Structure 1
Amino acid sequence: MKKFLSIITMMLTALSFGAVAQQVPIFAKEGEKSPNVHHVGNVWLKELSAPDSVFSYGTAVAIFDPGARLDWHSHPGGQILIFTEGKGYYQEKGKPKQTMKPGDVIKCLPGVEHWHGATAESGVTYIATSPAQKGRTIWLQKVTDAEYGPVKK
């Protein structure tokens, strides 16, 4: 019985430590709050590394409040998304919506129409990298409420 209680205590300690560790985000809501031109909700963008003469790609962190989402768009040179916090969505045109969590990586192929953002219940944070020399993001139509899914009020 004593050994059993010791194991339970260790498990609870590990779980509570994990809960505390999860409350500390890798990136804070710093950077520039993006104007609501190509998205719905609050989104913060912070450039981590700009393209230069050696590295032709840019890297940024995007932080979304719950319910925030980008419009449909594409990237001429593609884009890689590395999800670090929260829970989000990613969907390519004509394919089912995927739920993303920390550790998930998406490779958005060049020219493929897609959208990404937070779930209604959770904000999401990801690191995005894309080749700058291929051109800027091509913004398309808004993601409809039907495409996004139910939103809790």
Structure 2
Amino acid sequence: MKQALAIWLFLLVLSGPAAAQKASIFPKGEIATTDNHTGTVWLKELSEADSMFTYSIATATFAPGAKLDWHIHPAGQILLITEGTGYYQERGKPKQTVQQGQVIKCQPGVEHWHGAAPKSTFAYVATTPVTKGKTIWLKRVTAEEYRR
């Protein structure tokens, strides 16, 4: 996990105010074709987990209003918000507005969703430990849940 922290600190420095005026340091990736989101989401795997580094690192970029379905990360996930304004909500808790420069810690086994605000793009770098399995996808976020 120390290597992951070093990567996060590096990315945090690069995503400061001066970097915000430049193009993203990572490619936007390909439009996701999986059925676990609403709206347009681009994904780019930056580093896959292997026998030494048991976490994956990826970027996700959301068009305004795009959002992931409710889901669980068995071993948790850390999101470094690199662009725009979005939402993060855990089941049973109020929705939070999150913005560039914030770090979100998705606790292991906690049902949640995240996505872009209605009028903003939204992007993050995610590090996800895979030691306890991959993401478990659940139901769609309803329009009411998104608006609340």
TM bin, normalised by shorter chain, reads: 0.7 to 0.9
Normalised TM-score (structure 2): 0.83
- Aligned counterpart, 1:146: 144
Return the offset for 1:30.
Answer: 2.9
TM-score (norm 1): 0.80
1:77 aligns with 2:62: no
Q: Note the C-alpha offset of 1:77.
A: 0.6
Is the contact made by 1:90 and 1:100 (CA closer than 8 Å) also made in structure 2?
A: yes
Question: Which residue in the other structure is 2:101 paired with?
Answer: 103
In structure 1, C-alpha distance between the alignment counterparts of 2:25 and 2:37, rounded to whole Å = 20
The match for 2:39 is: 41
> Larger Rg: 1 or 2?
1
Q: Secondary structure at the match of 1:106?
A: strand
Q: Distance in 1 between matches of 2:88 and 2:97?
A: 7
Unaligned runs of 5+ in 1: 1-17
Distance 1:145 1:138 in 2: 21
Q: What residue number does 1:117 align with?
A: 115
Cα deviations by residue, 1:77-128 (Å, 9 ceiling, x for unpaired): 1000110101100000000100011111111111100000000000100011
Hey, what does 2:63 align to over in structure 1?
65
Please identify runs of 4+ aligned residues in structure 1 that moved more than 6 A: none
Tell me the matched-pair count: 132
Q: Which residue of 2 aligns with 1:133?
A: 131
Task: Provide structure 2 residue ranges, at least 5 long, that are not aligned to the other structure.
Answer: 1-16
